[in-house]
Amino acid sequence: MNLVWLVLTLAFATILGSMLTDLELQNKKSLYQMWLFAGFMIIFDSYIWLSFGHETFMKFYPFLAQIPLFIVFLFISKHKGIKLVFIHLTIIAIVSSIVLLAVLISGFWNLSETQMNLTALLLYLPTGFITYKFFRPYILYMLRNTDKGWWIFCIIPLTYTMITYSYSKYDMTSVISGASLLPIARGLIFTLISYIMILWIFKQNREQLALQNEQSLLRMQILASKQNLELLAESQEKTIVYRHDMRHHLKLIDSYLEDSNNKAAREYIAEVKEAINDSVIENYCENYTVNLILSSFISKARSEGISVETRVHLSENTYISDMDLCVVFSNALENAINACKKVQDKVDKNISIICKIKENRTFIQITNNYQENVVFVDDFPVSQEEGHGLGTKSISAVAHKYGGICSFAAENGIFKASIIL
């Protein structure tokens, strides 16, 4: 029964790790290495268990199970370093807390060791649900958007793990009747309160970052709306002028025709048509918000001598909020324009914007030329400028919000941002 309990506990710890981090298989070689390492540890742990018994195995449990599990997640987790350490210590704290709670219940009801193990296994189900429902969203958001403060967060689960191990060596049957139950129980209460505070901090940071992002996007939308209104006003003014002068245009054309000067008449008509076309605001798609954004950025791009091609098919009513559409298009187009501005050859200053709906998913692809080397960190392009990577991380956050994906690639002078929402 102890062996079954241990296997199910490790399985639960693995599931928790999968919940609380972004998993990403780098390549087949890493996958083979992971399975090779996992297989070796299973064989080695089985040998220790069979040769030296359950009590000896549990004394060296951190080295035989916890550290190997951390190494396995190094192969498949998108997050490395101190962030992964925090996730791993959190998993240990959660599992240890459940086991300790099972010990307390067993001590109160005078249950056997087998019944204690069954109690712990039964507690795994609601704990997994609570972790997934309430803890996971804040953890993932902080992992993706915050790089500071993780050392401080690690202190709490590390302290609790050290206290638990120093008093019990993971031999929970001896804890029930021993004097170590009280300090471990105090450590459990302290850890629970600390994690409630961590969750509150994560929640506050998430709301603050979201508010800052929304304020920035709102300013951008206001600017885009203002520019569009200015273009409308200019267009309306030109229309009034052309309407007022239309009789003069028609009179001049009529004079050309009376003189049988058809060439001059056609040239003048073409000139008037071009002037009228210049005064019309382009309509890129049916979605009002996206059209505002495209009008603003495309106008900016053309003023920099950048050629823009659009194939945008997006209706007015979509399941994506206007704020999130603004995040994706504004950040992607701003990055594209900044990259194209650095291209020396005017012929190679091109941006392509594609947006279409397929199988109830929105596919967005923005490509542009670039000249300088593009550096990737954790699959995100970065630069040496202050605040680098915030735009692409915002795009990634929106993609994850809708259960989609995003990718960025740079090859042969072409940068491609692909987003599925």
In a domain, 271, yes or no: no
Please state the pTM of the whole predicted model: 0.56
Establish if 189 belongs to a structural domain.
yes
Residue pLDDT, tens place only, 195-237? 888 888 888 877 777 677 666 655 665 565 565 556 555 655 6
Most confident of 169-178, 193-202, 369-378, 400-409: 400-409
Asked whether residue 250 is assigned to any structural domain, the reply reads: no
Q: How far is Cα 137 from Cα 418, in angstroms, rounded to an integer?
A: 24
Residues 208 and 288 placed together within one structural domain of the fold? no
Does residue 49 fall inside a structural domain? yes
In a domain, 261, yes or no: no
CA torsion 249→255→257→259, rounded to 10°?
A: -150
Tell me whether residue 262 is in a domain: no
Among positive and negative, which fits the CA dihedral 365, 366, 367, 372? negative
Q: How confident is the model at residue 242 (pLDDT cuts 50, 70, 90)?
A: low
243 located within any domain: no
- 339 pLDDT more than 80: yes
For residue 142, is it within any domain?
A: yes
Instruction: Identify the domain boundary among 157, 188, 214.
Output: 214
**pLDDT-wise least confident of 106-115, 201-210, 257-266, 276-285:** 276-285
- pLDDT value of position 415: 92
Least confident of 46-60, 128-142, 323-337, 383-397: 383-397
Mean pLDDT of 189-197: 80
pLDDT per residue as tens digits for the range 112-156: 778 888 888 899 999 999 888 888 888 887 887 777 788 888 888
Lowest mean pLDDT of 131-145, 183-197, 263-277, 286-300, name the range: 263-277
**Range(s) of the domain holding residue 170:** 2-214
The structure tokens 């309430």 sit at 134
Are 95 and 199 contained in the same domain?
A: yes
* Domain final residue, candidates 214, 239, 255: 214
The number of folded domains in the chain is 2
Residue 296 and residue 203 share a domain: no
Phi first, then psi, for residue 246 (nearest 5°) are: -60, -40
**Same-domain check for residues 293 and 198:** no
Residue 387's pLDDT band (cuts 50, 70, 90):
very low
Q: What percent of the chain has pLDDT over 70?
A: 80
- Which two tokens mark 138? 């804040």
Asked if 114 and 54 touch (Cβ cutoff 8 Å), the reply is: no
Final residue before a domain boundary, out of 183, 214, 245 = 214
CATH of the domain at 331: 3.30.565.10
Dihedral, CA of residue 122, residue 86, residue 130 and residue 212, to nearest 10: 180
What is the DSSP code string of 203-265? HHHHHHHHHHHHHHHHHHHHHHHHHHHHHHHHHHHHHHHHHHHHHHHHHHHHHHHHTT-HHHH
Instruction: For residues 181 and 78, state if they share a domain.
Output: yes
